[in-house]
Chains A and B, each alone.
Chain A
Amino acid sequence: GENVEQHPSTLSVQEGDSAVIKCTYSDSASNYFPWYKQELGKRPQLIIDIRSNVGEKKDQRIAVTLNKTAKHFSLHITETQPEDSAVYFCAAVSAGNQFYFGTGTSLTVIP
């Protein structure tokens, strides 16, 4: 199946700074790339997604970029706030609609 790698595994930033999380995938047929946020003790929730026919998507302080040629995509959070602290997972969805998740990034925003 698909192999998704995610970096870094932990990330600490000062409030107001930006945070960047990067993922790579192996299956060139994957065509949908969602990002989920999981707060402690809660279920993962979708925060943004991008499809393979788009290179960049932005939603307020969150943006995602996709480089299909290099098979990598990134999550960018600007003006970070303490409530952004959580574990973030990237995923690559195969043509067969299987969701494969990265290893997760634990983000801590320091007030």
Chain B
Amino acid sequence: GAVVSQHPSRVICKSGTSVKIECRSLDFQATTMFWYRQFPKKSLMLMATSNEGSKATYEQGVEKDKFLINHASLTLSTLTVTSAHPEDSSFYICSASGTPNTEAFFGQGTRLTVV
């Protein structure tokens, strides 16, 4: 299958700082990228969907000013957690789709710890 690379895999930051997570599709053009948050032993909670060149669509309850998503190219989307707090500590994982309503490929995830 296609390859999606997410970076960094782990990050520790201080409360109040911002953290940027990158999601890259390495061998295909991702017209749509998805950002999820996964709690321990829990499911994947969709945070937002982004299409290349347009604003992300955020799910209800997700603060768009806190979780900034940029999808400037067909191979890169970024998630920036602004003014991070300990409650933002979680596992964030992206996925990318080249064609609508077909398989989405996942990145390896980012473990964010805010101290």
**A binding-site residues for B, Cβ under 8 Å:** 1, 6, 31-32, 34, 36, 42-46, 49, 51, 89, 93, 96-104, 106
Contacts and interface: CB of A to CB of B under 8 A. Distances in A.
Contact of A97 (B1, B42, B49, B106): B49
Interface string B59-97: 110000000000000000000000000000000010101
A89 B45 CA distance: 12
Contacts of B95: 44, 99
Interface string B95-109: 101001111111111
A100 B32 contact: no
Nearest to B102: A32
B11 interface: no
Contacts of B41: 106
A11 to B, nearest CB: 14
Looking at chain A's contact residues, the main secondary structure is strand
B115 interface: no
B32 A97 contact: yes
A1 B97 CA distance: 19
Interface in B3-37: 32, 34, 36
Contact of B1 (A34, A46, A100): A46
Given A43-B106, A97-B32, A97-B101, A104 B49 contact: no
Contacts of B108: 42-43
Interface in B48-64: 49, 57, 59-60
Contacts of A43: 93, 106-109
30 contacts: A1-B46, A6-B43, A32-B101, A32-B102, A36-B106, A42-B108, A43-B93, A43-B106, A43-B108, A44-B44, A44-B93, A44-B106, A45-B1, A46-B105, A49-B103, A51-B101, A89-B44, A96-B49, A97-B32, A97-B97, A97-B100, A98-B46, A99-B34, A99-B95, A99-B97, A101-B36, A101-B46, A102-B43, A103-B42, A103-B43
